[in-house]
Amino acid sequence: MLKLVQEASQLEHFGRALVALGIVREDLVVLDPDVAASTKTTYFAERFPERFIEIGISEQDMIGVAAGLAASGKTPVACGFAVFVACRAWEQIANSVARPGLNVKIVGTHSGLSPSADGASHQTIGDIVLMRVLPGMRVVVPADAAEAVKALEGVVEASGPAYLRLMRGSTPVVYDEGCDFEIGRANLLREGSDVTIVANGVMVGMALEAAERLARYGVSARVLDMHTVKPLDVSAVGEAARETGAIVTAEEHSVIGGLGGVVAETIVGDSPTPMAMVGVKDRFGGSSRSHKELLASLGLTPDAIVRAVQSTMEKRK
Amino acid sequence: MELTELGRLISSLTVGEEPTVLGNMVQTRDGLRQLGSVIKDLRKTVLRMIAEAGSGHLGASLSAVDILAVLYFMRMRHKPEAPSWPGRDRLVLSKGHAAPALYAVLAKAGYFPEEELTSLRRLGSRLQGHPDIETPGVDASTGSLGQGLSIAVGMALASKIDGSGCRVYALVGDGELNEGQIWEAALTAVHHGLDNLTVIVDWNGYQLTGRTEDVKSIEPLDEKWKAFGWDTVLADGNDPESILEALNLCDLTTGKPSVVIARTTKGKGVSFMEGNRFSRKAPDPEELRKALSELI
């Protein structure tokens, strides 16, 4: 199927969607630590200067300020590069936001390997595990620009702390004909009976590509867009385990504790199933002038998913 | 009634139409005398709470109790019968380890029964070792040092955005000023001109390991805050009248936040507890008896 638009920027759409939300939600306040031009919160800042708080380069302070705003009835959206917000300010998020269950929306941009040229210092392979370990924290990883908009609406509408993980740059379009989105409910993108590929973020497009290739070998692969890591759609995962008997997860994150981890934790008790994880294998990234090239160098490709499917199906035999 | 003209003026401005807690405790000599006896009781309560719990930061609680009492009984607009009243003034106890003093004050104000105080640190109690918003009257979950001032800045910003006129106080420790986030928040507060925010530094000169000047010197305190752009006022943090006058002065600051640098004595009120000896040690029954006998 030919797509009208091949690639789109999550952040560009996120920035515009923030303005739209700001129009209907007067309680929305946006905070940004001196990266507004990159996170695209500039659109909100221009439209609602009185509700935009430039916090300067101080992410830990930003989280606390957001907590104070939420405690006073505001709905703060605290944005910044994922590694500096979710990882650097983790303990502030834990103690100032998650413990009191405050209605703070944390948006980690430039996540995963997407700031590819900047190198390992700016990349994030541990934010999902750090966020999902916090009680009450919702964790959402949209696959493309359209889903990023829906996910933003979803986390803002749901009361309580949430982490929204977005990518820098243009990434492949997955939802070119609209996108259903409900927090905690996986999107079934392709039906299949031999194996299920559970993916999120940039890996969803690759999972679909892998499924297409597998079909040529006579393998029927189900593809789930598991945009919500927490609360996980346990029924979709359970069905995948029981109905297809093999699971491969694919994520732009360490294989330790991310999507693969949560899926494994879920199936091990109720429906033990052979599974494999495609993700970053316990190492840091590095510089590359292309996101895609960096992903490939770390083994995040449709080919890697295909191989993981084959080896997992063999284990089942 | 001997309070300064300034104090009277401020009092008339801040008490306002909304009822203040212990409405009899207005800013007068009589009020201050009454408050003095309330504070003596609060010290005894704190001693009993920590003795009963078997652990807790006694020294820090005793150094901060006068400041908290002045805030809740003479300064802040709040309604113990409606703890989440949006129009209330807020206190963020950034030095969360002084929680026993805050709990004693909140119970005295009527937020929850005083009998509950002895449940401090017990499984299932609403009174955790450090503050949590599950406790009626507690405005912020704290305990991890350095985080409270940022929360207070957020509350003060919300008050500015809404034009609600709420005032926000943050009580920080001097040892806590080792934390970098405090100074991030100090810059943010000045940048946004938060004149509805007042920080009180409980300047007792000690932190866990020893004297602040030996662990990691933060002096000269007032010059540091001034250099960051804050209005500074010095006070005797164990003298309610001095605290009150300092807070009244802070109300006059416009366009920037204010800080009261309140000289206190850690373990104040019990001779053998002053200094760092009871920094985080609960009194045994004999020590409790002796301590209470000093507070008659």
Q: Is the pTM of this model over 0.90?
A: yes
Helix (H) or strand (E) holding B30: helix B29-53
Q: Which chain B residues have a beta carbon less than 8 Å from that of A66?
A: 154
Nearest chain A residue (CA) to B92: A68
Average pLDDT of the segment spanning A267-285:
96
**CATH number for the domain whose boundaries are B5-293:** 3.40.50.970
Residues of chain B contacting A, Cβ within 8 Å: 86, 90, 92, 132-133, 139-144, 147-159, 161-162, 166, 180-181, 184-185, 187-188, 191-192
Nearest chain B residue (CA) to A99: B141
At A177, list the tokens: 């004909």
Exposure b/e, B143-156, CB count within 10 A at least 16 = b: bbbbbbbbbbbbbb
Contact between B157 and A68 using a beta-carbon 8 Å cutoff: yes
Q: Residue A75, SS3?
A: strand
Contact between A72 and B155 using a beta-carbon 8 Å cutoff: yes
Per-residue pLDDT tens over the stretch A298-315: 999 999 999 999 999 998
Q: CB–CB of A129/A254 below 8 Å? A: yes
Torsion angle of alpha carbons A307, A309, A310, A314, nearest 10°?
140
Q: Residue B18, SS3?
A: coil
Average pLDDT of the segment spanning A84-110:
98
How far lies A253's CA from each of A54, A282, A300, B73, B281, in Å? 29, 9, 10, 52, 45
Q: Is the pLDDT of residue B9 over 60?
A: no
CATH 3.40.50.2000, domain A187-316, yes or no: no
What pLDDT does residue B296 have? 85
User: Could you tell me the pLDDT band of residue A2, with boundaries at 50, 70 and 90?
Assistant: low
Q: CB–CB of A190/A134 below 8 Å? A: no
What pLDDT does residue A1 have? 54
Per-residue pLDDT tens over the stretch B152-200: 999 999 999 999 999 999 999 999 999 999 999 999 999 999 999 999 9
Per-residue pLDDT tens over the stretch A201-234: 999 999 999 999 999 999 999 999 999 999 999 9
Average pLDDT of the segment spanning A239-259:
98
Contact between B158 and A73 using a beta-carbon 8 Å cutoff: yes
**Residue B201: what are its φ and ψ, rounded to 5°?**
-95, 120
User: Could you tell me the pLDDT band of residue B17, with boundaries at 50, 70 and 90?
Assistant: very low
Contact between B150 and A96 using a beta-carbon 8 Å cutoff: yes
What pLDDT does residue B10 have? 41
Pairwise CA distance, residues B100 & B94, whole Å: 13
Domain segments of chain A as ranges: 7-172, 187-316
Contact between A64 and B181 using a beta-carbon 8 Å cutoff: yes
Q: Which chain A residues have a beta carbon less than 8 Å from that of B147?
A: 60, 64, 92, 95-96
Nearest chain A residue (CA) to B85: A72
Torsion angle of alpha carbons B200, B203, B207, B212, nearest 10°?
130
At A138, list the tokens: 């919702």
CATH architecture of the domain covering A7-172: 3-Layer(aba) Sandwich (3.40)
Per-residue pLDDT tens over the stretch A27-69: 999 999 999 999 999 999 999 999 999 999 999 999 999 999 9
Domain segments of chain B as ranges: 5-293
Q: Is the pLDDT of residue B292 over 90?
A: yes
Is A59 among the catalytic positions?
A: yes
Look up the ipTM and state it: 0.95
Q: CB–CB of A15/A42 below 8 Å? A: yes
